[in-house]
Amino acid sequence: MSKEKPKTERIRGFAKTISLAIEVAQKNKKEKVDELIKGKRSRVVFNPKDGKWAALITIDNGSIDVKGIKNSPKNELKRKKLLWWGYMKAPIKDFMNAQNISSFKWFLRMITGRVKIRGIPHLRFISEIIGLAIPT
């Protein structure tokens, strides 16, 4: 008999980018990331409008998990199915410029329908962790 390794799901697309950013933040500023996520729980979906894969980021008691979810049928990303607490749908360009989602500029994007946001405190928390990947 051959020993088969259990298949691990490969992260693709935008979810891979988010996963790499979180890995860089954990590698470069481990103490700060550990301090931020200690005892916290959060579940956020980042869904790029012009991409094929969304990212589900789960933080639970000191561990961060990123999962890629295909976003072609709309019901795949529903709150009842994924049990998310924060959700952001925007063009990829806006995700890369999302440094302060509570600014007036983001409010205008929400009103015009360019960006869809739910659960701002959870989004800010995840954005803060991803922001640690940016070299200073």
CA–CA distance, 83 with 1 (Å, rounded to integer): 40
Give 48-106 pLDDT, tens digit per residue.
Answer: 988 889 999 999 988 999 999 988 887 888 888 999 999 999 888 777 666 566 667 77
Amino acid identity of residue 128, one-letter, is: E
Range 13-131: architecture per CATH: 2-Layer Sandwich (3.30)
Residue reference for tokens 């329908």: 113
Q: Residue 45: how many CB atoms within 10 A of its CB?
A: 25
pLDDT of residue 97: 64
Give the pLDDT of residue 85: 94
Percentage of residues of the chain with pLDDT beyond 90: 26
Percent of the chain with pLDDT over 70: 88
| Contact of 96 with 131, CB cutoff 8 Å | no
For the chain, the structural domain boundaries read 13-131
DSSP three-state, residue 5: coil
Q: Tell me, what's the pLDDT at 44? A: 94
Greater confidence, 4 or 54?
54
Q: How far is CA 132 from CA 25, 48, 126, in A?
A: 5, 21, 10
Q: Which of 124, 109, 135, 136 is nearest to 57 (CA)?
A: 124
Q: What is the mean pLDDT of the chain?
A: 84
Q: How many CB atoms lie within 10 A of CB 96?
A: 11
